Amino acid sequence: MSDVPGIELNNGATIPQLGFGVFQIDPSDTADTVQQAFDAGYRHIDTAQMYGNEAEVGEAIAKSGLPRDELWITTKCNNSNHGYDDAQRALDESLQKLGLDRVDLYLIHWPLPGKDLYVETWKGFEKAHADGKARTIGVSNFQPHHLDRLLEETDTVPAINQIELHPHMQQAALRSYHERHGIRTEAWSPIGQGRGLLDAPELGEIAQAHGKSPAQVVLRWHIQIGNIIFPKSVTPERIRENMAIFDFELTHEDMQKIEGMEKAERLGPDPDKFDR
Ligand code: NAD
Chain center to CA of 31: 19
Report the pLDDT value the prediction gives residue 276, as an integer from 0 to 100.
87
From the CB of 74, is ligand 1 less than 6 Å away? no
**What is the pTM for the complete model shown?**
0.98
Q: Of all helices (H) and strands (E), which one includes residue 138?
A: strand 134-140
Mean pLDDT estimate for the chain: 98
* DSSP symbols for 6-32: EEE-TTS-EEESB-EE-TT--HHHHHH
From the CB of 220, is ligand 1 less than 6 Å away? no
Report the pLDDT value the prediction gives residue 50, as an integer from 0 to 100.
98
Q: Of all helices (H) and strands (E), which one includes residue 46?
A: strand 44-46
Tell whether the model's pLDDT for residue 209 goes beyond 80. yes
DSSP state of 61: H
- Side chain identity at 264, as an amino acid letter? A
From the CB of 192, is ligand 1 less than 6 Å away? yes
Q: Please give the average per-residue pLDDT across 180-193, as a whole number.
A: 98
Give the number of other Cβ atoms within 10 Å of residue 270's Cβ.
10
pLDDT digits (tens, 9 = 90+) for 104-147: 999 999 999 999 999 999 999 999 999 999 999 999 999 999 99
Which numbered atom of ligand 1 lies nearest the CA of 238? 18
Residue 112 CA to ligand 1 center (angstroms) comes to: 22
Of the residues 42, 51, 118, 177, which is catalytic?
Answer: 51
Predicted confidence band of residue 195 (pLDDT cuts 50, 70, 90): confident
51 is an active site residue: yes
3-state secondary structure of 276: coil
Predicted confidence band of residue 1 (pLDDT cuts 50, 70, 90): very low
Give the span between the Cα atoms of 57 and 164, in whole angstroms. Answer: 23
pLDDT digits (tens, 9 = 90+) for 145-154: 999 999 999 9
Q: Is 152 exposed, middle or buried (0-12, 13-18, 19+ CB in 10 A)?
A: exposed
CATH for 6-198+226-238, options being 3.30.390.50, 2.30.30.40, 3.40.350.10, 3.20.20.100? 3.20.20.100
Q: Please give the average per-residue pLDDT across 39-61, as a whole number.
A: 98
From the CB of 141, is ligand 1 less than 6 Å away? yes
pLDDT digits (tens, 9 = 90+) for 60-113: 999 999 999 999 999 999 999 999 999 999 999 999 999 999 999 999 999 999
Residue 227 CA to ligand 1 center (angstroms) comes to: 15
From the CB of 188, is ligand 1 less than 6 Å away? yes
Predicted confidence band of residue 198 (pLDDT cuts 50, 70, 90): very high
3-state secondary structure of 82: coil
